[in-house]
Amino acid sequence: MLAQERRSLILEDLRARGGVETEDIAQRYSVSVETARRDLLELERRSLLKRVYGGAVGVPTSTEPPHSERESVAAAHKQRIAERVVALIPSDATVFLDLGTTVEALARAIQPTFSGTIVTASLRAVATLAHLPNAEIIVSGGRLRKSELSLSGSMATSFLDSLFPDIAIISIGAIDADAGVTDYDFDEMHVKRAVLANSAMSIVVADSTKVGGIAPYRLCGVETPSYIAIDSGLSADHTTTLTERGAHLLLA
């Protein structure tokens, strides 16, 4: 198992249990205690946990980790989510693609035979989608968020208020059974709300490391999206709790 994959699994354990122990990590993943400590040190360096005596605990956060760090977290899970969701998209559909690393994986998974329309506020997605020979690509316009290469603000929201897509693919910052679906950027949250309200089908995409967290701004309850597409690394406890709250889970 690669170190990055092991660290993603450690984060999933942390989300599910609230804390992890160094010796338990070593036994579970068949590594030395020193390797387990290095894993926790690296995850703490990236502000994803806080080390304590004998292990680590989660840290509350009100800011989103940089794109470069998120890109490497749970990459294999994001790819499986992308493939699962792309299989649901008709070749002639009108689709809204949000921003974020899972959506970028989804953009890469769309086949050249797609002949529908894709609307997005993500310039990273546009760069990927430009190779599709038969697709119409529409960019929302708006204020540039340089760290994400995304567009938001009143111009983007006004444009997307008049969009009624067949499918909206929406990324988020965190999911909690009680707090609901939450995100980090206030302006982008309004863009997501506009699309969520108008879409015939809405699919929230998130890898399982985001479950159990709470970002500052609430988008909706977990029961609102048509589906929450998430990887099969989701713990049994979280699966049960989210389902009991009315979430429609699409496991990848």
Q: Which domain holds residue 30?
A: 3-59
Give yes or no: residues 76 and 160 share one domain. yes
pLDDT at 62 over 70: no
* Residues 15 and 86 placed together within one structural domain of the fold: no
The predicted model gives 163-190 an average pLDDT of 91
Q: Give me the mean pLDDT over the 232-249 stretch.
A: 92
How far are the Cα atoms of 17, 98, 152, 192 from residue 149, in angstroms, in the given order?
Answer: 34, 12, 10, 16
pLDDT, mean of residues 40-47: 84
Q: How far apart are the first and last CA of the chain?
A: 20
194 and 231, same domain (yes or no): yes
**What is the identity of the amino acid at 49?**
L
Could you give the percent of the chain with pLDDT greater than 90?
A: 62
Per-residue confidence (pLDDT) for residue 111, from 0 to 100: 94
CATH number of the domain within which 131 lies: 3.40.50.1360
Q: Is 29 in the same domain as 94?
A: no
Q: Please check whether residues 9 and 72 belong to one and the same domain.
A: no
* Whether 96 and 178 share a structural domain: yes
- What is the value of pTM for the model shown? 0.76
Which residues make Cβ contacts (< 8 Å) with residue 240, sequence separation at least 6? none
Radius of gyration of the chain measured on its C-alpha atoms:
18
Check pLDDT > 90 for residue 64. no
Domain count, the chain: 2
pLDDT digits (tens, 9 = 90+) for 107-160: 999 999 999 999 999 999 999 999 999 999 999 989 998 988 999 888 999 999
Mean pLDDT value across residues 204-230: 92
Given a cut of 90, is residue 46 above it in pLDDT? no
Residues 44 and 73 occupy one common structural domain: no
pLDDT score at 209: 85
In the predicted structure, residue 32 carries a pLDDT above the cut 80? yes
Sign of CA dihedral 104, 105, 110, 116: negative
Q: Say yes or no to pLDDT of 60 above 80.
A: no
Q: Which helix (H) or strand (E) holds 51?
A: strand 50-52
72 and 124 fall within a common domain: yes
